[in-house]
Amino acid sequence: MSDTTANRINQLVRQLNEYSYAYHVKDEPLVSDAEYDHLYQELIHLEQAAPNFILPESPSQRVGEKPSGGFETVAHTVPMLSLDNAFDNQQLLDFEQRLKKLIGTEEEITYCCEPKLDGLAVSLRYENGLLVQGLTRGDGVAGENITSNLKTIRSVPIRLNTETPPPVLEVRGEVYMTKAGFERLNQQAEEAGGKTFVNPRNAAAGSLRQLDPALTAKRPLVLCAYSIGYTEGWQQPDSHYDSLINMSEWGFRINPLMTRAESMSDCLDYYARISQQRPKLDYDIDGIVYKVDSLTLQQTLGFIARAPRWAIARKFPAEEAITQIIDVDFQVGRTGAITPVARLEPVFVAGVTVSNATLHNRDEIDRLGVQIGDFVAIHRAGDVIPKVAKVLLDKRPEQSREVHFPTECPVCSSELEQITGEAVIRCTGGLICSAQRKQSLKHFVARKAMDIEGLGDKLIDQLVDLGLINNPVDIYRLIDKKDILLSLERMGEKSVDNLLTSIENSKTTELHRFIYALGIREVGEATARALTGHFASLDNIIKATSDDLLNVDDVGPIVAQHIRRFFSQSANVDIVEGLIEVGVHWPDVEKNQTVTEQPLSGLSYVITGTLANFSRDELKDKLIQLGAKVSGSVSAKTHCLIAGEKAGSKLTKAQDLGIDIMDETAVITLLEQHGVS
Ligand code: JCF
């Protein structure tokens, strides 16, 4: 039996490794998971019966090792280098000038370019084709022996795929976690009540240093090879690019975006291209690595300190910037929440000029220990609201002032309350508080709600201050007050007519908009849509018990309570009935219909200046496609100004108004995040 068992084990190991390589390195699965598992089970069975025949490269050996008590430190054969950084194009051009001078040439240099993965560098040692050791980078001179953990990563070859492996080969690469794998891991951790990781890099680092390889095996890690660190008894190709292609043939994953560039100008193009793809990639990158392709030239150039002269990393612009807090204002929201907002010395962060950043609430002010006048780090990732990440205490100016959180509502002087366990502090004035009334009305007319154009924030402030409107129903009674409207500053016949027309038009709406417009606590757009899809009619929503409400995806006990409380107050029911009485209506909704939303709806953009990649109309269409509103002039209602080259007065106005400003690269990123290009 042994002979046939040995043969079958051999065959299975070869086949399974081929399938695993196709799946984990090539991203081109050859068989279904079920088929793989079936063969794997057969192999395990045979190996249990004949342990002498277990091959070192058997997939079963990836997870076989016992937990260790700690990691031993091992010196690298050749130190693992770091990379010099370039933060702009000029620094790249300087790098190229230095190279040309050192080499003594005027001719174009060929480079190899690849995205710089945001993970952890490791070194893998193969002897006669078999993986014998895997080390972390450590301090570059010596690292920790994490061989058992590295073996659990499916894209780490256990045996090189060649008949004639080099006697010794040390491969350097980056271990990282995909964004999708990271999300999944954190979700599982959250469900299990465990600790979550802040980003994929930390998750990868934590996973690699698990003392129990069985735990590492459960983490979605990937290895991507980026260079040969050392070899014996084998002549590697003279081109870095060719070396990597060679490694890919031996079974390593190399970055599919890696390419050769014939000149520095091609390198700059490559940077622009990858920057655009960056948000779509399923892994974090923090820059681009450029290497002189010729190994002969690399040897000529050598090293300085701990970095090679022949390579450089062009870093992406930071998502963090330092600026100063000019003042802190307190805004009263629709539900009375008092929000501190830091007014900033305008600063450019990841493609956008930012003038305001939220400080969230009092706890956050305490946590940060922030004072007016402080220098702070502002963080802005993707298209999220900028926030104050950190105070630079050693830069605190002498005249800095403490932030005094108000002790009463800054608008109506009502008492403030804080519910135990909640961070938010609220004005208790309810609709007595004109700030809350105004905010509720602004919410009601917003684009994602009843979408009443022409009823801007300033006009609402004015109408409330004059006592012309107090609640949403009053808006529909403005038609009888045309004379008063006409007497208001800057309200001509035309604008009054336009306003009354858009008020009239808003009567034809959709149920989810109506629900959202009511401004029930915690009922945002998504919840309004979920409620609409689930209950299909306003009556059903009003009648729904807490238990009924809890059956809706998206609705938890707190939200259910807010909804119940809202409809149990007669003032609210009167408003709902009043609105229907004046003619607000919507088409029937079918039960369980999904009511989808658009990513930029409710946001208003203005485009100015010359754009390199599209005409203004083209860009306008793309933004509208995502639900945005695009208008011709900058006002306080503008959410963001897109400024191309030679932007003029609109840019100045937006800066004066403290509106966010985006350059073309940031817009392209935004479009691509939402699948438009
Ligand atoms: O992707 C990376 N993080 C990365 C790091 C890629 C490379 O080609 C590297 C590196 C660190 C050092 N090359 C060197 C020499």
Q: Select, from the ranges 18-32, 252-266, 351-365, the one with the highest average predicted confidence (pLDDT).
A: 252-266
Ligand 1 pocket residue status of 531, Cβ below 6 Å: no
- Among residues 417, 473, 426, the alpha carbon closest in space to that of 445 is found at 473
Ligand 1 pocket residue status of 289, Cβ below 6 Å: yes
Ligand 1 pocket residue status of 113, Cβ below 6 Å: no
Q: How far is the CA of 164 from the centre of ligand 1 (A)?
A: 27
Q: Whose CA is nearest to atom 7 of ligand 1?
A: 226
Task: Taking each helix axis as running N to C, give the angle between helix 2-24 and helix 33-49, from 0 to 180 degrees, rounded to the nearest 10.
Answer: 150
Ligand 1 pocket residue status of 227, Cβ below 6 Å: yes
Closest ligand 1 atom number to CA of residue 227: 8
Residue pair 386/354 in contact by the 8 Å Cβ criterion: yes
Q: What is the pLDDT of residues 172-183, one digit of tens each?
A: 999 999 999 999
Tokens linked to 165: 């492996």
Closest ligand 1 atom number to CA of residue 286: 3
Q: Which residue has the tokens 């998502």?
A: 319
CA distance 587 to 596: 16
Ligand 1 pocket residue status of 116, Cβ below 6 Å: yes
- The answer, yes or no, to whether residue 611 has pLDDT greater than 90, is no
Which whole-number Å values give the CA distances from 544 to 419, 510, 524, in the listed order? 26, 20, 18
Q: What confidence tier does 448 reach under pLDDT thresholds 50, 70, 90? A: confident
DSSP state of 282: S
- The answer, yes or no, to whether residue 270 has pLDDT greater than 80, is yes
> Which residue among 175, 222, 226 is best mutated to probe the pocket of ligand 1, counting the most ligand atoms within 8 A of its Cβ?
226
Quote the percentage of the chain above a pLDDT of 70: 97
pLDDT value at position 338?
96
Q: Which residues are catalytic?
A: 116
Q: How far is the CA of 174 from the centre of ligand 1 (A)?
A: 7
- Render the burial of 28-52: b for 16+ CB within 10 Å, e for the rest: eeebeeeebeebbeebeebbeeeee
> Which residue among 83, 85, 177, 290 is best mutated to probe the pocket of ligand 1, counting the most ligand atoms within 8 A of its Cβ?
83
- The answer, yes or no, to whether residue 152 has pLDDT greater than 90, is yes
Q: How far is the CA of 359 from the centre of ligand 1 (A)?
A: 37
Ligand 1 pocket residue status of 117, Cβ below 6 Å: yes
Q: Whose CA is nearest to atom 5 of ligand 1?
A: 116
pLDDT value at position 351?
67
The mean predicted confidence, pLDDT, of the chain is 90
pLDDT value at position 405?
95
Ligand 1 pocket residue status of 112, Cβ below 6 Å: no
Q: What is the pLDDT of residues 618-655, one digit of tens each?
A: 888 788 777 777 888 888 888 899 998 888 888 888 88
pLDDT value at position 498?
92
What is the mean pLDDT of the segment spanning 156-182? Answer: 96
pLDDT value at position 157?
97
- Amino acid identity for residue 382 in this structure: G
pLDDT value at position 594?
66
What is the mean pLDDT of the segment spanning 134-154? Answer: 93
Ligand 1 pocket residue status of 144, Cβ below 6 Å: no
Max Cα separation, the chain? 103
Q: Is the alpha carbon torsion for 630, 632, 634, 636 positive or negative?
A: negative
Q: How far is the CA of 654 from the centre of ligand 1 (A)?
A: 41
- The answer, yes or no, to whether residue 400 has pLDDT greater than 70, is yes
pLDDT value at position 672?
81
**Which class for 88: exposed (0-12), middle (13-18), buried (19 or more C-beta within 10 A)?**
exposed
- The answer, yes or no, to whether residue 382 has pLDDT greater than 60, is no
Closest ligand 1 atom number to CA of residue 311: 15
DSSP state of 488: S
- The answer, yes or no, to whether residue 112 has pLDDT greater than 90, is yes
Residue 129 has phi, psi (to 5 degrees) of 90, -10
Q: Whose CA is nearest to atom 4 of ligand 1?
A: 116
Residue pair 116/289 in contact by the 8 Å Cβ criterion: yes
What is the mean pLDDT of the segment spanning 549-561? Answer: 86
- The answer, yes or no, to whether residue 323 has pLDDT greater than 80, is yes
Q: Whose CA is nearest to atom 11 of ligand 1?
A: 82
Residue pair 16/44 in contact by the 8 Å Cβ criterion: no
pLDDT value at position 384?
61
- The mean-pLDDT minimum among 31-35, 96-100, 566-570 falls in 31-35
pLDDT value at position 599?
77
- The mean-pLDDT minimum among 20-34, 228-242, 335-349 falls in 20-34
Q: How many CB atoms lie within 10 A of CB 183?
A: 13
Q: How far is the CA of 82 from the centre of ligand 1 (A)?
A: 7
Q: How far is the CA of 108 from the centre of ligand 1 (A)?
A: 23
pLDDT value at position 178?
94
Closest ligand 1 atom number to CA of residue 80: 12
Domains (range + CATH), the chain: 2-61 (1.10.287.610), 85-315 (3.30.470.30), 320-402 (2.40.50.140), 428-597 (1.10.150.20), 599-673 (3.40.50.10190)
Q: How far is the CA of 300 from the centre of ligand 1 (A)?
A: 20
Q: What confidence tier does 2 reach under pLDDT thresholds 50, 70, 90? A: low
pLDDT value at position 645?
86
- Amino acid identity for residue 479 in this structure: I
Ligand 1 pocket residue status of 226, Cβ below 6 Å: yes
- The answer, yes or no, to whether residue 374 has pLDDT greater than 80, is yes
pLDDT value at position 632?
84
What is the mean pLDDT of the segment spanning 192-199? Answer: 83
Ligand 1 pocket residue status of 174, Cβ below 6 Å: yes
Q: Does this model's pTM top 0.85?
A: no
Q: Is the alpha carbon torsion for 16, 22, 27, 30 positive or negative?
A: negative
Q: Whose CA is nearest to atom 12 of ligand 1?
A: 82
Ligand 1 pocket residue status of 81, Cβ below 6 Å: yes
Residue 38 has phi, psi (to 5 degrees) of -60, -50
CA distance 620 to 629: 9
Cα angle for residues 137, 140, 144 (degrees, 5° grid): 40
Q: What confidence tier does 595 reach under pLDDT thresholds 50, 70, 90? A: low
Closest ligand 1 atom number to CA of residue 117: 1
Q: How far is the CA of 289 from the centre of ligand 1 (A)?
A: 7
**Which class for 526: exposed (0-12), middle (13-18), buried (19 or more C-beta within 10 A)?**
middle
- The mean-pLDDT minimum among 7-21, 228-242, 377-391, 553-567 falls in 377-391
pLDDT value at position 168?
97
Side-chain-side CA neighbours of residue 407 (13 Å): 0
pLDDT value at position 597?
64
Q: How far is the CA of 522 from the centre of ligand 1 (A)?
A: 46
Ligand 1 pocket residue status of 83, Cβ below 6 Å: yes
Q: How far is the CA of 230 from the centre of ligand 1 (A)?
A: 15
